[in-house]
Structure 1
């Protein structure tokens, strides 16, 4: 069963990996502009796996920021992964071992998280491992290529590459929304609230990562209170 789930994760992870390859290409260009070598940038992508966090770090490195400043910025930028990790911890079966949780915790990111949460019932850790196995090299390879040869591409082509992840998000959200009116409503409210906070005078100055965390906590809490999900007996089996 674990082998079957791992292979399924590999198949599901292929489009994620291709999307990462395109998007991290621009990340590699940012790393090169910050004075990093291809090896340094690629190693960062293998160890961090956080697009917004890496962009913020490379930008601050280019500005010669101090270690403490970078550490604080990374903590704020990547704080949303704490919420994702808490959600995944509830999604795993009670039989999941500590090393399963540690490996999953090493690579919690938006796209893989979305596919994991979309699973019906409990999450088999090996399904997640399969997605990690194929997606992580795609992110690192894209970073390497962007650092090595990114500056030879026209700027409009590089900009267009970043559209890929938006398509991936839609592919995760739409099927779940079609199955549940509650999820569709939550998605619609989230999009509207995000747009309003982006332009409202009192919240426009708040970093986007912080706004995302606030919206996630508030909307998810309201949805959990108003539309609780009943646990089915034997769901860990």
Structure 2
């Protein structure tokens, strides 16, 4: 047990009380994310189980992907006997936005070795990025680990639980679990939008772009993955130009 604690402390850079404090702050701020992730990954576990996957396979998918939309889309292709190429292209397009998020967050983190940056990059999701990017101070590795690990465990636990107990839930309840992620994301951005005109402006621009792609006939056929990428680039550029950082 002590050896495990020593390895954990060394990995998370717990070389001071400040590092431990930042880790715990990350854990605290990740609790709303974890609460939202559990029912969503629970739904994924149900979907995988109903498609014929065993709970262990569903769990491995969640442990190695840690992504919502891409994971659902990729697994759907697998269950419908799609090709490896289809899975690769689909998940790449949907998840390419994480490259943009990682690039953006790299401007906000303290200096650290590449190995730690790679660990952090694996845990970047829409929600962990949102919380980290809204921090007023530089983001540290212990803080990000607190934010990521708690969310990651909730995602994995929800998947396993959903896969195991899928047969005990009604179809209506299974479908209702899928909206939890949207409610959680609103809970993350609405308070910040109320406190910051800059955040509100970027949100309005990104939502407007998404609505245009949704309802304009000529471009409504573009995949959701590309729409997210386009909306992210335009909204980010808008924020950088209209609301530049003072320093």
Residue number in structure 1 paired with 2:83: 66
Tell me what 1:216 maps to: 232
**Distance between the aligned counterparts of 1:193 and 1:133, measured in 2?**
32
Aligned residue in 1 for 2:13: none
Identify the residue that residue 235 of structure 1 maps to in structure 2. Answer: none
Q: How far is 1:162 from its partner? A: 2.1
In 2, Cα distance between equivalents of 1:97 and 1:176: 31
Among candidates 135, 142, 146, match of residue 158 of structure 2:
142
- Cα deviation, residue 152, structure 1: 2.2
Given that 1:34 and 1:58 are in contact with CA atoms closer than 8 Å, whether structure 2 keeps it comes out as no
Deviation of 1:206 (Å): 0.5
Q: TM-score with structure 1 length normalisation?
A: 0.92
SS at match of 1:32: helix
Decide whether the 8 Å contact of 2:108 with 2:139 is kept in 1: yes
CA RMSD, aligned part only?
A: 1.4
Cα distance in structure 2, aligned partners of 1:223 and 1:15: 26
SS in 1 for 2:107: helix
- Per-residue CA deviation, residues 120-169 of structure 1 (Å, 9 max, x unaligned), is 02112211100222111111111111111113211221222222222221
Name the structure 2 match of 1:19.
36
Give the unaligned 5+ runs of structure 1: 232-237
- Equivalents in 2 of 1:98, 1:226: separation in Å? 32
Point out where structure 2 has 5 or more consecutive residues left out of the alignment. Answer: 1-17
Distance 1:51 1:69 in 2: 17
Cα distance, 1:190 vs. partner?
1.8
Q: 1:80-95 residue pairs with structure 2 within 5 A? A: 80-93=97-110, 95=111
Deviations 1:178-230 (A, max 9, x none): 22212212212222221221111011100111101001111211221222112
Q: Contact 1:34 / 1:61 at 8 angstroms: preserved in 2?
A: no
Paired residue for 1:158, among 150, 159, 174? 174
Q: Does 1:33 align with 2:56?
A: no
SS for the counterpart of 1:123 is: coil
Report the CA distance between 1:100 and its aligned residue. Answer: 2.0
Tell whether the 8 Å contact from 2:33 to 2:151 is kept in structure 1 after alignment: yes
Q: Aligned residue for 1:120? A: 136
